[in-house]
Structure 1
Amino acid sequence: MSTVLAASAHLDFSLTQKLTVIVLAALTALVSHMALAVFNDGTRPFMLEFIQGRATRAATAAVAFGLSAGFIFGLGAPMALSSGVLNPWLLFLPTDILGILAVRKWLAVVLGGAWGALVVFGLNGANDVAHKLPVDFLTAMQQMSTPILFLFTLFPVLAVAKQFGKARGAITGVVELALVIMTMKLWPNIFAGSLAMAAGVLMLIGFAVRKDLLQRRTDREAEAEATAAAGPATDGPGGGPGGDGSALAQTGAGGTDVPEEVLEDPMASLFSASAARLRKHLPLFMLLGAGVCLIAQMHIFGGGEATSFLIAKGHISEAAQVDFYRVFGFIPLIATTALASGTYGIAGLTLVYPIGYLMPNPILAAVAGAVVMALEILGLSSIGKVLGKLPSVRDSSEHLRSAITDTLQLAILFGSLLAANVMGGGLGILIVGGLYLVNEAMGRPVVRMAAAPAAVIVGGILLNVLYWLDLFTPVKG
């Protein structure tokens, strides 16, 4: 499979696609204004303070901007410009900020729609200008696709090794490598890492479920032994059914009935209130799910770094597969932060991404997105309870997220250096690598994952300036 994109990766959308993006941006700004959903997982925990009136709009918006700016300008914009496919960092992180900052609902809608218009009308012009420069850094950035696609394949291997040890990690790595080689040999027209990722994620989940089942069986056996050793329980005051202990378990201060789960877990009342708050706005969430699923179906949007390049290459089923695997890494994070804060994710549990890619037409995509988002909102409390009973599966999601970050950081850095070499040879590598190292030395004012693509853009601009000063001759490609 060729991993080099065409040089003409333009953000040139139809009128229908442009209007869809604008309306969706307006909608996401509205739900952010209402503190119902934000895209940035780091912003979500701060929303509880805002909802309960302990933080102002300006302060919350400042937090959202600080957590999101690096991803917007360092990752979202470069990825869109180099792949020709929109992404959530470019669309949804700015509407998080604009929606929270807006003092009125109508203003949030206007600001969100304006950002959507800027994206669909402005980026293509910037893209055309960049391609006409003596040093075409956007075409050079397409070099990032190969490292991102293939190194991303290894994230299940890292997750297994971190959670279950080096031996199982090595076994998973060997299985993945064999599947990549087999796919390249037997099915050259599909993405070589698709089967490998499937096997890796299934092995991780299998290890985690097996560990949880074994632990639960051990706990049951220990409980049975303890019960047998204690002898039969006695009824009466403070004892079995009908005693004072049972009454206390069901009655709170003043004789008020208290649900048993609230007494067992102080967080249960907060979780219950948050879930009820989200269910109250179910129609709005269904509209949001329909919109996100719709732009995914149009194949102008990718939910991740690897996904964007896969969609740009036309590998739609592989893109759906990749984003489906990512879901396992983010369900516990999104579900628990939503239950704790009362604020959901803009794309929910992100299932709407892969479903949207595979839908045959926009109408079915909108219906499917609405249904999926409704099921997620209605089942949020149940998801939280299930996760509480499967600690190893919950831990697996954390290891998956960490592994995804590690693999992408390496892939993006390596791809950015390849782009620097295409732009300016050794001088390009010196500038881009130097900017990345300066960012590290300064305490990472730009987040690590976004620092390298941002350095490519800055380096590309600087090389063009040097060319105009007759101090640099572009590398012949």
Structure 2
Amino acid sequence: MSAAGTGLDFTLPQQLTVIALCALTAFVSHLALAVFNDGVRPFLLDFVRGRSTRGATAAVSFGLSAGFVFGLGAPMALASGVLNPWLLFLPTDVLGILAPRKWLAPLLGAAWGAVVVFGLKGANRLAHELPVDFLTALQEMSTPILYLFTLFPVLAVTKQFGRVRGGVVGVVELALVVLTLKLWPTVFAGAVAMAVGVLMLIGFAVARDVGQRRAAAPVSDTAGTGSGDDADPMASLFGASAARLRRHLPLFMVLGAGICVLAQLKIFGGGEATSFLVAKGQYAEAAQVDLYRMLGFLPLIATTALASGAYGIVGFTLAYPVGYLLPNPYLAALAGAAVFAVEVLALSWIGKGLGRLPSVRDSSEHLRAAIGEALGLAILFGSLMAANAMGGGLGILVCGGLYLLNEAMGRPVVRMAAAPAAVLVGGVVLNVLYWLDLFTPVKA
């Protein structure tokens, strides 16, 4: 049973899992072994070495995370009925780093988990009883997010390999979406298209790397015999960071088990598109989408982990799709522990491998950027659709105006989160106008 189907009314095992996992992630963050926010991870090296205080590091984490928690994590959870990592793990990053004692970190994390599982239900019920139901309106975001997300391989290929290949991938994806809608109407229309698009991108990248290695082979044969690893000033740092993470392998295995179990319970989605797919019960498609997200973020997580000695709270995110597809939480716990063990043990090898495949590494960076661009447009467009659904032209004026004001002020709320946050604030404004007898809600 999904959270979406019950209005965020979680069962006791689901509640306990969320609370326990939030406690664990806060504890891991307190030890500076892992954080969810990729932007915070590089700052942990100074903290571990004593060059930065716990309070200063917590302030950095809060500054980089608050907008995503309240502008993206909370609206997405309320709109889809499915929890997400921004809502759960960004706050535990901050609470764990901020806690002055080891025993306090898991208590603060557990408290946040309790706020989420018990507070969201009340907020959801209250919002649906308001004259202007902005949570139902937020569900308008699902269609643009799911369909525009399908185009991210096209953007990535175009940026890395040019307009011609990008155009070819675009035509192929469009044809596959049309065919899927016609032949398999119960399947998410973008599933096959994204799979083919990503495979084409990887194929182009591997072909380029192979060609460049063949062209450079004669030069390499006549070159000196010096070791690149010995000459690399980062090699010793990377080795020390990987060793630090391996020393805590049992803790990471417990963390991986918890992440995978949470995904298996079908109350959690690893991304914007995934949340709506999980809410619809399309778990295979959700696994596919999060697998592509993993390909985009793997190099970033690996390199920042090797540079800072702090891993990702959710690892490479491979535990997400594994969890979606497993039939019970017991298998998910075993699989999640195994996934994290392999990831941590293979971290140094992955870092070296990425260094030998520059085009594949660049493809991941282009994938990550393309995912952000596609979702940015989708979230903005979906938020304006939500504004129109709850308030017509006035709703668009209020929500769009708040978004533009955020842009003009230098984006105090990050762009990705600004539009959903504007819908929430706009919904409050429209309800106030209704109570002042200045606005009549749009009828469904």
Would the TM-score normalized by the shorter structure come out above 0.5? yes
- In structure 2, which of residues 182, 186, 204 is the aligned counterpart of residue 185 of structure 1? 182
Q: Which of 354, 360, 370 is equivalent to 1:403?
A: 370
Match of 2:204 in 1: 207
Please, which of 282, 288, 294 is the counterpart of residue 327 of structure 1? Answer: 294
**Partner of 1:214: helix, strand, or coil?**
helix
1:256 is aligned to none
Q: 1:168 aligns with which of 161, 165, 172?
A: 165
The reply to whether residue 300 of structure 1 matches residue 297 of structure 2 is no
Partner of 1:431 in structure 2?
398
Alpha-carbon spacing, 1:278–1:295, altered in 2? closer, same or farther (3 Å):
same
- State how far apart, in whole Å, the 1-side matches of 2:292 and 2:374 are: 15
Partners in 1 of 2:205 and 2:229 — Cα distance? 28
1:218 aligns with one of 207, 212, 215: 215
Matched letter for residue 386 of structure 1:
G
Aligned-residue RMSD, C-alpha? 1.5
Cross-structure match for 2:423: 456
- Number of the residue aligned with 1:98: 95
TM-superposition CA deviations, 1:243-288 (whole Å, max 9, x none) = xxx9xx7xxxxxxxxxx56522110000000000000000000000
Amino acid of the structure 2 residue aligned with 1:383: I
1:62 aligns with 2:59: yes
Matched, 1:136 2:133: yes
Q: What residue in structure 1 maps to residue 116 of structure 2?
A: 119
Aligned residue type for 1:86: L
Instruction: For 2:61 and 2:155, locate their aligned partners in 1 and report how far apart those are by CA, in whole Å.
Output: 30
Secondary structure of the structure 2 residue equivalent to 1:19: helix
Structure-to-structure mapping, 1:354-369, within 5 angstroms: 354-369=321-336
Structure 1, unmatched stretches of 5+, are 228-239, 241-245, 250-259
| Kept after mapping to 2: 8 A contact 1:262/1:269 | no
TM-score for the superposition, normalised by structure 1: 0.91
> Structure 1, residues 278-313: CA drift from partner, whole Å, max 9, x if none?
000000000000000001000000000000000001
Q: Distance in 2 between matches of 1:113 and 1:270?
A: 34
Give 1:376's aligned amino acid: E
Shift of 1:151: 0.1
2:407 aligns to what?
Answer: 440
Match of 1:44 among 33, 41, 50: 41
User: 1:195: which partner in 2?
Assistant: 192
**What secondary structure, in the 3-state scheme, does the structure 1 residue paired with 2:441 have?**
coil
Structure 2 distance, partners of 1:61, 1:402, is 27
Q: Report Cα offsets for 1:417-464 as digits up to 9, x if no partner.
A: 000000000000000000000000000000000000000000000000
Distance in 1 between residues matched to 2:375 and 2:351, nearest whole Å: 28
Q: Could you tell me whether the CA contact under 8 Å between 1:161 and 1:170 is conserved in 2?
A: yes
Q: How far apart are the structure 1 equivalents of 2:3 and 2:303?
A: 41
What is the alpha-carbon distance in structure 1 between the residues aligned to residue 102 and residue 115 of structure 2?
Answer: 20
Residue 87 of structure 1 deviates from its aligned partner by: 0.1
CA distance in 2, matches of 1:476, 1:123: 26
Say if 1:299 and 1:311, in contact at 8 Å, map to a contact too: yes
What amino acid does structure 1 have at the position aligned with 2:29? Answer: S
Q: Distance in 2 between matches of 1:7 and 1:269?
A: 48
Give yes or no for contact 2:131–2:441 (8 Å, CA) kept in 1.
Answer: yes
1:221 Cα deviation from its structure 2 partner? 2.7
Q: Aligned with 2:103: secondary structure?
A: helix
Relative to structure 1, the CA distance from residue 353 to residue 186 in structure 2 (aligned partners, 3 Å threshold; closer, same or farther) is same
Give distance in 2, aligned partners of 1:7 and 1:372. 28
Q: Is the contact made by 2:3 and 2:279 (CA closer than 8 Å) also made in structure 1?
A: no
The structure with the larger Rg is 1
Aligned residue type for 2:439: F
Could you tell me the TM-score, scaled by structure 2's length? 0.98
Q: In structure 2, how many angstroms separate the alpha carbons of the residues matched to 1:209 and 1:186? A: 32
Cα deviation, 1:364-400, whole Å, max 9, x if unaligned, reads: 0000000000000000000000000000000001100
Residue among 329, 334, 340 paired with 2:307: 340
Q: What's 2:152 paired with?
A: 155
Secondary structure of the 1:47 match is helix
Equivalent AA in structure 2 for residue 112 of structure 1: G
Matched residues in 1 for 2:174 and 2:322: separation? 28
Structure 2 unmatched ranges of 5 or more? none
SS in 2 for 1:105: coil
- Is the contact made by 1:9 and 1:82 (CA closer than 8 Å) also made in structure 2? no
Q: CA deviation at 1:6?
A: 12
Q: Secondary structure at the match of 2:438?
A: coil
Shift of 1:156: 0.4
The C-alpha deviation readout for 1:125-169, integer Å capped at 9, x for no partner, is 000000000000000000000000000000000000000000000
Instruction: State how far apart, in whole Å, the 2-side matches of 1:263 and 1:222 are.
Output: 20
SS in 1 for 2:121: helix
1:32 maps to 29
Distance 1:103 1:216 in 2: 51
- Report if aligned partners of 1:316, 1:358 keep a CA contact under 8 Å in 2: yes
Query: Which residue identity is paired with 2:362?
Result: D
Q: What CA distance in whole angstroms lies between the structure 2 residues aligned with 1:284 and 1:376? A: 13
1:355 deviates by: 0.3
Hey, which bits of structure 1, 4+ residues long, moved more than 3 A?
Answer: 5-9
| Alignment match of 1:79 (pick from 76, 91, 96) | 76
Q: Give distance in 2, aligned partners of 1:365 and 1:223.
A: 46
Cross-structure match for 1:385: 352
Quote how far apart the aligned CAs of 1:222 are.
3.2
What code does the residue aligned with 1:447 have?
V
Q: Which residue of 1 aligns with 2:443?
A: 476
Does the residue aligned with 2:418 lie in a helix, a strand or coil?
Answer: helix
